[in-house]
């Protein structure tokens, strides 16, 4: 059983997962300071205690979690599991040894992974793209998060940056400067923080009040996804994030843009939207934690991508 903690853009989401079953879950708002760590630990302990109630069927064994898995919205060092960089709210996590934090707070071993990569592992293992070995995931909302799976292996690269910086592809050479330092990134042009003051994503995509902004965002997202398809040749593109509650109003224009601009000899990927996107990260984290803590001889019994070595294991 795994305790999963996802440091998201507006919420810290927590879940206790037993196999493929979500035993308990909750979320708390993000403050944007080190206080978030204390709040996450307190909520995690409450959630773990909840799983030991009689109705869960676990009380008689006294069982608790076997490991902790943590997702962060930034680059994770493959060698140490520490977060190297993240913009805005989670600067205080940079360089922090989260595995040591988890051991101190819960007495459990831990793994740390980029949130989009964890979501991709969750969706290609037991979710909307189960069994796919070549996939791209794109989360749309506060920023643009991406991840890639090639021949069953989550792409990490030499220093953990590979696959997750799709939101920082340049789509406008004359565009604004992005907080990352690049010019005209997709994220700088089409994300929550790129909206004018007082305007929300919900207003843009669930009403007709801002058609210009809506069309511009969809055009940028389509360009980003097209570049990702050109780069990784996936069989499936997973579109996720809160804005996908708008459904086909977001998915259909992006898919149409990709089909219209795809390299002629490429086979278009299929597009899917997870039915429970809020659990994608937690499910991927659970798989990573299980792979890291189970005996090597038993790891092949767990359905997962071919290579889900933890950042600490993968060199």
The first and second tokens of residue 235, run together, are 């069989």
25/286 Cα distance (integer angstroms): 13
Q: How confident is the model at residue 305 (pLDDT cuts 50, 70, 90)?
A: low
Q: Is the pTM of this model over 0.75?
A: yes
* 54 has a pLDDT exceeding 80: no
* 63 has a pLDDT exceeding 80: no
* 40 has a pLDDT exceeding 70: yes
**Domain ranges (residues) in the chain:** 2-115, 128-272
* 140 has a pLDDT exceeding 60: yes
49/123 Cα distance (integer angstroms): 28
Would 2-115 and 128-272 be classified into the same CATH topology?
yes
What is the mean predicted confidence (pLDDT) over 88-99?
87
Q: Looking at 40-54, 169-183, 275-289, 293-307, which range is the least confident one?
A: 293-307
Q: How confident is the model at residue 86 (pLDDT cuts 50, 70, 90)?
A: confident
Of 238, 246, 177, residue with least CA distance to 217: 246
User: Is the CATH code 3.30.420.40 the one for domain 128-272?
Assistant: yes
Q: How confident is the model at residue 301 (pLDDT cuts 50, 70, 90)?
A: very low
* 254 has a pLDDT exceeding 90: yes
- 174 DSSP assignment: T
CATH architecture of the domain 2-115 equals 2-Layer Sandwich (3.30)
What is the mean predicted confidence (pLDDT) over 114-142?
95
* 311 has a pLDDT exceeding 50: no
Q: How confident is the model at residue 56 (pLDDT cuts 50, 70, 90)?
A: very low
Mean pLDDT, the chain, rounded, equals 88
What pLDDT sits at residue 64?
A: 76
pLDDT, tens digit, for every residue of 264-295?
A: 999 999 999 999 888 899 999 999 999 888 76
What pLDDT sits at residue 276?
A: 86
pLDDT, tens digit, for every residue of 189-245?
A: 999 989 999 999 999 998 999 999 999 999 999 999 999 999 999 999 999 988 888
Locate the DSSP E strands across the chain.
2-7, 11-18, 21-29, 67-72, 75-76, 83-85, 110-114, 135-140, 144-150, 153-154, 236-240, 270-272
């Amino acid at each position: 059983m795994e305790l999963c903690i996802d440091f998201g853009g507006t919420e810290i989401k927590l879940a206790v997962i037993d196999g493929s079953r979500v035993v308990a879950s909750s979320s708390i708002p993000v403050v944007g300071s080190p206080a978030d760590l204390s709040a996450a630990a307190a909520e995690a302990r409450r959630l773990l205690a909840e799983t030991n109630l009689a109705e869960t069927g676990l009380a008689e064994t006294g069982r608790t979690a076997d490991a902790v898995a943590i997702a962060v919205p930034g680059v994770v060092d493959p060698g140490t599991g520490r977060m190297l960089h993240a913009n805005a709210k989670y600067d205080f996590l940079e360089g922090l040894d989260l595995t040591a934090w988890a051991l101190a707070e819960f007495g459990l071993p831990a793994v740390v992974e980029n949130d989009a990569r964890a979501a991709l592992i969750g969706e290609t293992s037991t979710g909307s793209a189960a069994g796919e070995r070549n996939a791209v995931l794109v989360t749309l909302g506060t920023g643009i998060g991406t991840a890639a799976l090639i021949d069953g292996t989550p792409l990490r690269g030499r220093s953990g940056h590979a696959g997750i910086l799709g939101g920082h592809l340049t789509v406008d050479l004359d565009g604004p400067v992005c907080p990352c330092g690049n010019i005209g990134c997709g994220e700088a042009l089409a994300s929550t923080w790129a909206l004018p003051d007082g305007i929300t994503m919900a207003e843009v995509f669930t009403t007709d009040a801002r058609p210009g902004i809506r069309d511009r965002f969809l055009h940028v997202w389509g360009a980003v996804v097209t570049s990702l398809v050109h780069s990784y040749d996936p069989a499936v593109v997973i579109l996720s994030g809160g804005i996908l509650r708008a459904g086909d109003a977001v998915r259909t224009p992006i898919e149409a843009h990709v089909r219209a601009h795809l390299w002629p000899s490429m086979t278009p990927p299929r597009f899917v939207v997870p039915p429970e996107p809020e659990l994608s990260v937690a499910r991927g984290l659970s798989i990573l934690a299980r792979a890291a803590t189970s005996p090597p001889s038993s790891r092949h019994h767990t359905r997962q991508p071919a290579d889900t070595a933890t950042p600490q294991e993968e060199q």
